[in-house]
Structure formats: C-alpha cells, structure tokens
Structure 1
Amino acid sequence: MFEQELQRYFGFSSFKQGQQEVITRLLNYQSAAAIFPTGAGKSLCYQLPAMLLPHLTLVVSPLLSLMKDQIDFLQEHGIPAARLDSTLSRNDYTAILEQARRGELKILMISVERFKNERFRHHLERMRVSLLAIDEAHCISEWGHNFRPEYLKLPVYAREFNISQVLLLTATATEQVIGDMCRKFAIPREHVTVTGFYRRNLFLQVTPTREADKIKQLAERIRQAPHDPTIVYVTLQKTAEEVAEALRARNISAAPYHAGMPNEDREQIQNRFMAGELACVVATIAFGMGIDKRDIRRVIHYDLPKSLENYSQEIGRSGRDGNVSLCEVLANRDNLNILENFVYGDTPEYEAIHKLLLMIKQQQHFIWEVKLTQLSTDLNIRLLPLNTLFVYLDMEGLIRPKYTYFEEYSFKHLLGAADIINQFQGERREFLGALFGCCETKKTWTYVDIPLLLARYQTDRQRVIAALEYFEEKGWIELQAKQAVDVYDIMTQGFEVDMVAEKIFTLFHTKEAHEIQRIHRMVEFFESETCLSRRLAGYFGERLAEEACGHCSVCQQGKVAIQRTIALSPLSTMDMAGLTREFVSIAGKHATPLNVTKFLCGIQTPIFTRLKIRNLPHFGALERYPFAEVNAEAAKLC
C-alpha cells in the first residue's frame, strides 16, 4: 500500500520500519504519533501524506537548520514546499504566504512562535490545512528534556484554526513523556508507533580523560581517519571556538558552530559540512537537529551531554547509512557544575515572581497587554523561564492568553497614497482616506497610528491589518510590523499573592530538582557496570533480548570511573571582593547575592545582557564550582 506513491514522489522502493503504519493512519484521517530514533525516517511520515491529503500540511519545527535541510530535500524532489523564517526578504515572505493561501504549496514549515504573529494569523485563517505535523514533539512535556512552553499552545492553535489532524514526531521520549504528549493532543495510545532506539552499528565508548589531555586525545582520535565526517559536541560557545582553533593549530580541518554566531556564518559552515568540504564541526547543541548527513562516522562528546535524551539524540546523528560509527564521550566530572549551573540559571527569584503577581493584582482592567522582552528585563527572568511562568499562571487560572499583536506598523510607499485611494469607491475610499490621514512619514518609512484611526473612524483593527496586507500583496507598499505585544485575559484578582508566589516558586524548584536528577542519572549511565546499549534502550522503554551488545566500552573493556581531574582551590581562599568589584560597581542595586552568584558562575540574565556584564573580566570565573557553595560565599560578601 502506497509503495507506488513512495516511488513516484521520493524514488524509494520500500518503507522503513514503522513508516507505513503511521502514513496509513494519517491517510485514514486519524491523528498519530511516531517515536522513531534519529535518522529512522520520521520526516517521510508527513512528507508522503502531504502529497496525498487534499490541502496544506503545516509543519512546526524548532530550528532553522532543520527547516532548511527539509525544504532543500523536498524541492529537489519537485514537491511544492517552503518555510517561513526571519531570514526571508519581505517579498519572499509575502510570496510564500500567497502561495499557501492559493493552495499552491503542499508543505509549509514554521516555528511555533509564528502562530502568535498577527500577520501570519491573518493569512492562516484564509488557508485550508489538512495536517499539523509537530517535530520535536517532546517539547510539549514539562517532563521532557527540552520543554518549550510555547508548545503547550499547539493544541489550542489546532482547534482555533480548525486543523483536525495532528502528527507528533520525536526521537527521544520516555513512556512518561509519550503519555503526556498524547493526552495534550487527545491521541489514543494505540495510535502511537514506537520503532525502538537500539542501533546495532553504533559503538558506544566512554573514555575517562583528564581535562588537560582532552585536546590531545581528541586530535589523536580524529587523525586516525582525518576525512571522516565528525561532530564534536561541547557545552559552552567559548569552548566551541577554543577547541576548533586548537584542532586547526594541529592541522585538522575544523570549524566552530554555536548560537552566538551570525546566521550566515552558521549556514555556511553547515553547507560546507553537508557537502563534505569540512570534516569536523565543533558545536554546541545548536548544531545537528534535522541534519540529514548519512555518513557521519564520529560523534564525540568533548564535554558531558546535558541528559540521556540529549546524548541519544546527538549520537543518533552518526551512522545513518548503517555503517559502523563511533560515539565517544571524553568523560570527567570537571564540567558537571557548569551543566547544573545552566539549570539553576533558569529558576526565577521569588521576589520576581511576587512582583509579577502584584502587577496582575493591581491591573485596573481585565485585559493585560505585555511586552515580554521588556518584562523579561524588568523582572530579570530569561525569556524561556518567563514563558514557563506564564504557563504556570495560566494553569493556576489567573490569566489566559488571547493573542499577540504588533504595536507598530510601518510601510514604504511603492505607489502614492492618492493613487492607492483612487483604486476604490464609496465607503472603501472613505476608509482609506481616514487610514492615510492617520499616518506619519519619517524619512522613508510611514507609520500607521492605529489607535488614532480606530478613534476617528468606525472600524476594527482586523480591517486595518487586512487593508495593509492587501496593499503589500498588490505591490503598492512594502510593509513591516514590529514590537510584539502579548494580550492576556486576567481571570481573577482574588488571589493571595504570597501564597501563589510560594506555590509557583515551589513548582520551579521541583522542575529544577528534576533537571539536576537528569544530569546525575546520565553520569550513573556512563559509569554503568552493564551493557550501555541495553541500558540506553531500557531508559526509553525498549527491552533488548541480548544481555550484552558487544559494541560498547562496557562489553569490551568493562566499567569505568569518571573522576574530577582539576583540583579546585577552596572558595574560602578566593578574593571574592576582587572578583566582583567591577560587577558590583556596574550592577548597582542588581548586585544581589543571587546575581553575584550568577555572574561568578557565568550564567547570563536579561539585566546582564543590558549592562554588558559578559564582557567583564571575571564573568564565569567560578563556573566549575557548585552553585550553592558560590551562593553561600556571595551571601557573606553582600
């Protein structure tokens, strides 16, 4: 069944395990979930149905690199597909939306944040969508390893835009996470296809390595086969730069890749790696999602991964061609505290939660408009945990998200205002006269005062946006929208601020403890006395028949011990005042014990970004020390 269509559209003669089951379910107009290992063909589960279902398939994808690779593949096969992202020109963005609206596209890839975009929502209402496919669907679960609060809105968006079918895709989900995903989308458990996580061609190697010897060990490993495609994973952006430079100094072709680099640089490195022009990429976890390079021979973790889920996902990028590939961890405990510090950095201060609750309590109206970026700085909470905080407030019944709009609409005239108005008659002409009468031109851009227009003319905001969109479609103006404002209903103000603040603060601490436990579970795994392949499969609910796989370091060499290899001086001997003097001077009232701790542990915050704290000489000076111990010293200092 469907083999002819598979051959016709993709040139494949047969399905991989699990694919046909998922595709059949979708073409019977049912929702489904596919839990396949990395590289096992999840994408085909929506790509083939997209060609056979009557309308558009909308794909939610978390990373630009994943979208680019998928679209390149689809266009090579003559499948009408496109992506919407921030790198597109205004003309390309508009053209893609028009293609989707006219039914000329079969696949449109977007980020989850796009659903909040007022302009996109306007166009989506005019599209006919058969299927919503959600990649990295584990992001919807608070108990997943990469929880993204925005994903919790996806079931709401599906209902709002009348999308009756959903496909959930992920490579890394425990039984608990699978259950959570399915509940949120009302997908029956029998509609979930799990193909297993075990990969016979991957050699799992744990190599205890002193921190001082890592570069030497890494270079020696790469030199064994210098042209083999290799990904080296590190924790920090600066480590990616340093390791790539150290490898180049040893005449090894290597380049760094991390989220702090310009988009065009990252894209160039990815393209060179995919084309085989670059053998080694030293990367943070920003690299790899959706990379479909089948001949990656080595994935080497220079630093410990963040979790077993991350480890499984990252090693899954190697050996997709079925040939033997090495997955090696250069293991020690020296960077363990750095991993834990990232977790602590995402827990808001109690005072910040309390301040936000007071803001809600004191609102004079039950409609609350928020600029999240500004609020993030005001509360000194990073955007991801701030979004999580809003999810908790929603769960508590205090607020409910309504929509997002743009505060500022501006345009460049490609046709004069009078010429545009003259295209219309009657009331429409009168409306456009009022619209252009509420505009102010500054240099080349003309700004629309929408509140003034609504006060002067009996109309609604949606009509104004629709008119501006129509002008751009006709090529009369070049339109841009800025300054997103999130709008919430305040459901109640009859709550006790202290009690709710304590409850939500406890939720964050529970989540923090869960993430710390996840790190410790990973270290226990690497020190396992039993087969690594068997234990990894078991973590994801798969039971292997064999007691020993024969292709992991435990099976071949036995258990290892992971040690700390850098001797740390006692914190009591540190010149804490000297390390923090410049920070305290610049931070002023923000130099609380917790912020001093975050500064010394190298944890970025919104206020640090605004004050350019990262550029200070001692930022991250104590990143290898336990957060709690640094915090105790900071409390004495403050």
Structure 2
Amino acid sequence: MYQDTLQHYFGFDSLRPGQEAVITRILKGQSACAIFPTGSGKSLCYQLPAVQLPHLTLVISPLLALMKDQLGFLHSKNIPAATIDSTQSWEENQQVMQAVRDGTVKVLMISVERLNNERFRQFISNIPISLLVVDEAHCISEWGHNFRPDYLKLPQHRDWMKIPQVLLLTATATPAVIDDMREKFAIAEDNVVVTGFYRPNLDLTITPVEEAQKQHALLEQLSPTQPTIVYVTLQKTAEDLAQWLSQHGFQARAYHAGMDAERRQHIQQAFMNGDCQCIIATIAFGMGIDKADIRRVIHYDLPKSIENYSQEIGRAGRDGQTSHCTVLANKSSLNVLENFVYGDTPDLAAIDAVLAQIQNTNGPWEVILSRLSRDTNIRLLPLKTLLVYLEVHGIIEPQYTYFADYRFKPVMALDAIVAQFQGERQQFVSQIFACSPKARTWHTVDFDALWQHAQAERKRVVAAIDFFSEKGWIELESKQMTDVFRVLEPNFDRAALAGSLYQLFKNKEDNEIGRIQHMISFFESKQCLSHSLAHYFADHRAPEQCGHCSVCRGDAATLPANEAQPEVSANMLQAWCDPFLTACQSPPSTAAVTRFLSGMSSPLNTQLKARQMGGFAKLEAYPFRQVRDHVARLYPDLPE
C-alpha cells in the first residue's frame, strides 16, 4: 500500500513501531491520533500519506521554527510543500495560494491563528482537502499543559472546510487529554496509537536541596565537556546564573524570550555547533532543538508541570546514549508557579463587563485587545481565551482584523506614485493622498474623509497602501490592531453566561494548581520514577523497576518545605491595602487586591502604578489562597 512511496521518497525499507499502525489507518480513510515520544517519527505519519492522498494535506503547527524545519525536510524529499506565514511578502503568499489552487502543493502548513483571517478562510474554503493534521494536538485540551484557545475552534474549522479525515500528533498527553482530544474530533478509541513513553537511556534523579545550596549543587552536576541544558523559571535567574557559572570557569550562556531573535538564534547555533556546552534557559529554549548528544538536563527551578518536565528531559540523549536528568528540588518556588496560574483567572465582574459591551453594540463589535484588557483588568491571554469561549458558545463570530491607524512616509514623490496609475485608479490614489494630512514627515490616512468625499472602502484603501509599501514607494506604519466580530446572539442571559464562563476559568485554575501538586507528589514518589512517568502518559509497558533512577537507587526524595512566614496583622494588612483601594475607581475584587499584595502583574496594577505603592508584593512569599482568605476577612464587602 505504501512501501514503494516509503522507499522512493524517504529511502526507508520499513517503518518504526506505531508509524505503520497510524499510516495504515489514514490510508484506509480513517482518522487517527498518534501519541509518540519526541524524536520518534510522528511527522512521517502525515508526510507519507500526503504523497498518496488525492488532495491537499493541511497541517496546523504551533511554531514557525517547527514549520520551517518540516518544510526543509519535505523539500529535501522532493515533496511539494509550502507555508503561509507572517514573514512572507504579499507576492509570496499569492504565489503559494495559486500553487495550492493548481494542486501542485501537496502539504500546506499554517498556524492556527491563520484560520481567523477572513481572506484566508475564503481562499481555503474553495480548496479540496484530504487530511487535517494537528501538530502538538494537546493544545486543544483545556486539561492539557499548553492549552491554546484558538485550538478549541479546530473541530468547527474542520466542519466548514469539509475535511474528511484528521490526524492528531503529540508527544505528551495524559489519558484524560487523549480522551478529550479524541472526543472533540470523534476519533475511535481503536485509532489512538500510543507507542510508549519509557526511555531506557535516561537516568532520572530528584535531588532535594535547600534554596541557599542550589548554586553549589549545580556546580557538582556540571561537566565542562558535556552538552547541558539548565532550566530556570525566570529570565533574571538565567542571566544571573550564566554570569555566576562563567565566573566559576564554565562556558555558560543565558537564553530567554526577553532577548531579541537574532541573539537567541546566535546562542542556539553556538550550542548546536558545540561552541557553547551549557545553556541556562527558560522554557523558551527547546522547541525544535534537535541536538542528539545532550548529555545533561538539569532543572535548577521546578518545572511548571509533569508534562513540561517530560518535554524538557526528552531533549536529552536522543542518540540513545546514557544521559542524566536531575531536578534540584525544594518547595520554595511553589508560590511563583502557582501565581502564574492565579494571575490568569479573570474576575466575574470583568467577564460581565465584556458581555455588557457585546450586548450594547449595534452592528459589528470592534475590539482593540490591549484596550479591552486594560478596561476590564483581564490579562491578554485569558482575554483571548474568553473570546474563543464566546465563539464556541455561538455568541460572536470573527470577521476580520484591521489596523485602526495607518501612517506613511513617502520614499518617492507622491506625484510620481500617482503617475504609476491611469484612469479611475489614478483618481483613487490621488484621493488617498489628498485625505492623508502631513505632520512634518509622516502622513496619516483619514479613512472617514475618504469615505465622505470618495466613498472609498477601507479595505480597498488598505490594499492600496500595502501595495505602495511592498513596491518600496512609501514607508508604512500601522498600529492599534482591531478585531471585528459579528454578534450572532445578543439576547443572552448575561448573569447566567458570566457565571458559567467564570466557572470554566475557575475549573481551569483548579486543574492547573492540581497539576503542580501532582508534580510535587511525583518528585517525592516512592515508586520507580521512570515507571511512574510512563504510566502518567498512558504507557503501561514500562518496567516496574528501571534501575536507573534515584528511587531505584534507594534515594526517594523528600523536598525541603517553604520557610514558615510570620503572621500578618489586620492593621498591617489594612495599611498596605487602603492606598490601593482608594486609587481604584470602583471596588476591586478580593482576587485583585490579592494580586496586588502578591506582586503580580495585571492591567489594573499597571494602570494604578501599583509598584510604587508600599503594599505591592509585600506578601509575595505567602501562598495566594492564604492571602486571599486574609483579604476576604478584612474586606468582606468586596466582590469575589
């Protein structure tokens, strides 16, 4: 069925375990789900069928770097593949779209956000598609460790694109997440293929260590000649630790999302080439890293979850040689991990404020996310999640996105640009420039004036100035990105809907906190770590005693507890909170006051310049729930 294709395109005589089962199901016209460890050939499960299926294979991938790697591989095998992404010019996108229409492209890779683009949706709705592939498919599950709200809409996207088959790919999914993914796409249980998670070459160690001793414990783990990744939680820790290790004779470099892309690429390349042996990294480092000889992965800080831990240690020993994975563990950073979770749950009143905006809108609902975030005190990521929930509930539907403000600086004379056109087009271009007043060197496009004087549609004006920019005739700046939604159902019960949406976020919060507690229990497990880890990811074939983990060596861990914090008096708490409460225009929620005392970022704290207040971050060393209880007792009339 596929042997000739396998040999001709990929040069393989046989498939790895699991690949055959998945590929056979796809070629029989069924949907499937592949749960394979990192580096075990998930991608071939769609690459091979893509050559044999009659129409396009559409791949949803979460990272541009991963798409580029996959495209490079497909091109090396002479398989026609392409991507439409934000780095391409208008002309490049048009070329790809034409090749897809012509049927000369077999694999098209996009981000999930691309499906929010109305123009792309119009294009892809006319293309026959054989297979939808969802890479990192655990992102679709709210019970997964890396939930991405736009993934929730993929089942709906699949329906309107009329795609007959789906292939879900992931390396890290618990049984609950597997069931959730499978049910959302109606994939039969028999079509879920789990190849096994157990890695016999990874030596797992949990080392209990007090916070003050961690740096010296790290030094004992390092070898100057072995490629090593040290994972930390905060960017500042990465910088400080890299500097400290350099002072102690180790060639260490920090790597985190706060660096510009060019610098990150340079550091990553130095590590890949062997010019730098030790990277101190936040979780920004690792996706798409395919270095076979990483000998050590050390968690200097606790990972965010068992899923994150497994992904990060999964980068070690891909050449099959023994590699050591160590956690320098204590409970002192638990508050930091938990506060990431608590900071993302919107207040009930904030959700209600968003719903009120929708109900009070006549016509399309236009949203500048940063402004809505500030006005409602909802962080950007949970705000995007809320909007997706509203889409899934059938309240709103995305239409298109535009930039509210456009300004340009001519590179050539405006008359010369006008002269490039003739007839009605020339008149249209003249009207654009006539309605774009100049301040010093920059012209600002006045869309209202263009409509009043020339009935020029905004969409056509934007297309024109985009064209001028691509030609190099003007330098273009755009800002204030605005999302436009159609309100499908304005007559909802606002209180009931706000309550049910708030409960969704609270359930997610409880799940995330439970995930952190589960991770602590795993690190303190009295059972073989390799067996427990495999079992967590639905692999029931791992040995009960691996012989290469700290538990099997008789060193089950008990993590040092947090230092006990002193009691906080009601008078002290009131002295810290009252200036914050006075600065708020309306009574804040108990959670908002708690976020202030815990030193967490929020739109409200930014607006009020809360960092300059004496009470900000005074209780950051205390558990969030404990602080919230104190605030609720002191201010019982505040909303939840």
Give the TM-score normalised by the residue count of structure 2. 0.85
- Aligned letter for 1:93? S
Aligned length: 631
1:521 aligned to 2:506? no
In the superposition, relative to structure 1, how do residues 122 and 266 fare at CA in structure 2: closer, same or farther (>3 Å)?
farther
Superposed counterparts of 1:428-443, under 5 Å: 428=425, 431-432=428-429, 434-442=431-439
In the superposition, relative to structure 1, how do residues 11 and 567 fare at CA in structure 2: closer, same or farther (>3 Å)?
farther
Give structure 1 stretches of 5+ with no counterpart: none
- Aligned letter for 1:94? W
- Distance apart, 1:262 and its partner CA: 2.5
- Aligned letter for 1:215? Q
CA separation in 1, counterparts of 2:531 and 2:283?
25
In the superposition, relative to structure 1, how do residues 243 and 161 fare at CA in structure 2: closer, same or farther (>3 Å)?
same
- Distance apart, 1:515 and its partner CA: 1.2
In the superposition, relative to structure 1, how do residues 228 and 378 fare at CA in structure 2: closer, same or farther (>3 Å)?
same
- Distance apart, 1:392 and its partner CA: 3.1
- Distance apart, 1:565 and its partner CA: 5.5
Give structure 2 stretches of 5+ with no counterpart: 636-640
- In the other structure, the counterpart of 2:281 is 283
Matched residue of 2:356: which SS?
helix
CA separation in 1, counterparts of 2:462 and 2:229?
46
Q: 1:101, 1:127 within 8 Å by CA — same for their partners in 2?
A: no
- Aligned letter for 1:97? N
CA separation in 1, counterparts of 2:456 and 2:132?
33
1:377 aligned to 2:384? no
Matched residue of 2:172: which SS?
coil
- In the other structure, the counterpart of 1:321 is 319
Match of 2:270 among 265, 269, 272: 272
CA separation in 1, counterparts of 2:242 and 2:108?
35
Superposed counterparts of 1:412-561, under 5 Å: 428=425, 431-432=428-429, 434-442=431-439, 446-457=443-454, 461-468=458-465, 481-544=478-541, 546-561=543-558
1:137 aligned to 2:134? no
- Distance apart, 1:305 and its partner CA: 1.6
CA separation in 2, counterparts of 1:228 and 1:50?
39
Deviation readout 1:7-28 (Å, 9 max, x if unpaired): 6655656533333444455566
Deviation readout 1:182-210 (Å, 9 max, x if unpaired): 33344444443322211111112111111
Matched residue of 1:536: which SS?
helix
- Aligned letter for 1:350? L
- Distance apart, 1:595 and its partner CA: 3.7
- In the other structure, the counterpart of 1:203 is 203
- Distance apart, 1:376 and its partner CA: 0.7
Superposed counterparts of 1:289-328, under 5 Å: 289-328=287-326
Q: 1:137, 1:169 within 8 Å by CA — same for their partners in 2?
A: yes
CA separation in 2, counterparts of 1:8 and 1:445?
57
Deviation readout 1:207-254 (Å, 9 max, x if unpaired): 1111111111111111xx322111112222222223222222221222
Match of 2:89 among 82, 93, 96: 93
- In the other structure, the counterpart of 2:638 is none
1:569 aligned to 2:561? no
- Distance apart, 1:503 and its partner CA: 2.7
In the superposition, relative to structure 1, how do residues 460 and 18 fare at CA in structure 2: closer, same or farther (>3 Å)?
farther
- Aligned letter for 1:169? L
Percent identical: 53
CA separation in 2, counterparts of 1:415 and 1:11?
53
Q: 1:335, 1:624 within 8 Å by CA — same for their partners in 2?
A: no
Match of 2:236 among 238, 243, 252: 238
1:348 aligned to 2:343? no
CA separation in 2, counterparts of 1:258 and 1:221?
22
- In the other structure, the counterpart of 2:181 is 181
- Aligned letter for 2:386? L
Q: 1:101, 1:126 within 8 Å by CA — same for their partners in 2?
A: no
- Distance apart, 1:593 and its partner CA: 5.2
Give the TM-score normalised by the residue count of structure 1. 0.85
- Distance apart, 1:115 and its partner CA: 3.6
- In the other structure, the counterpart of 2:364 is 367
In the superposition, relative to structure 1, how do residues 74 and 571 fare at CA in structure 2: closer, same or farther (>3 Å)?
farther
- Distance apart, 1:345 and its partner CA: 0.8
- In the other structure, the counterpart of 1:169 is 169
CA separation in 2, counterparts of 1:342 and 1:317?
25
CA separation in 2, counterparts of 1:25 and 1:415?
58
- Distance apart, 1:280 and its partner CA: 1.5
- Distance apart, 1:487 and its partner CA: 2.0
CA separation in 1, counterparts of 2:65 and 2:40?
18
In the superposition, relative to structure 1, how do residues 494 and 387 fare at CA in structure 2: closer, same or farther (>3 Å)?
same
Matched residue of 1:319: which SS?
coil
Matched residue of 2:206: which SS?
strand
> Which deviates more from structure 2 when the two are superposed, residues 497-506 or residues 45-54?
45-54
Superposed counterparts of 1:42-57, under 5 Å: 42-48=42-48
Deviation readout 1:441-494 (Å, 9 max, x if unpaired): 555555444454445556755545555555566666665643222222333443
- Distance apart, 1:381 and its partner CA: 1.0
Q: 1:376, 1:382 within 8 Å by CA — same for their partners in 2?
A: yes
In the superposition, relative to structure 1, how do residues 183 and 608 fare at CA in structure 2: closer, same or farther (>3 Å)?
same
- Aligned letter for 2:197? F
- Distance apart, 1:147 and its partner CA: 1.1
Deviation readout 1:74-131 (Å, 9 max, x if unpaired): 6677777666666x4xxx5335324413428766654333443567668767988765
CA separation in 2, counterparts of 1:129 and 1:469?
30
> Which deviates more from structure 2 when the two are superposed, residues 48-57 or residues 515-524?
48-57
- Distance apart, 1:627 and its partner CA: 0.6
Deviation readout 1:270-298 (Å, 9 max, x if unpaired): 22222221212222222212211111111
CA separation in 1, counterparts of 2:265 and 2:55?
31
In the superposition, relative to structure 1, how do residues 208 and 246 fare at CA in structure 2: closer, same or farther (>3 Å)?
same
Matched residue of 1:402: which SS?
strand
- Distance apart, 1:417 and its partner CA: 5.6
Matched residue of 1:407: which SS?
strand
- Distance apart, 1:505 and its partner CA: 2.1
In the superposition, relative to structure 1, how do residues 561 and 236 fare at CA in structure 2: closer, same or farther (>3 Å)?
same
What is the alpha-carbon root mean square deviation over aligned residues? 3.8
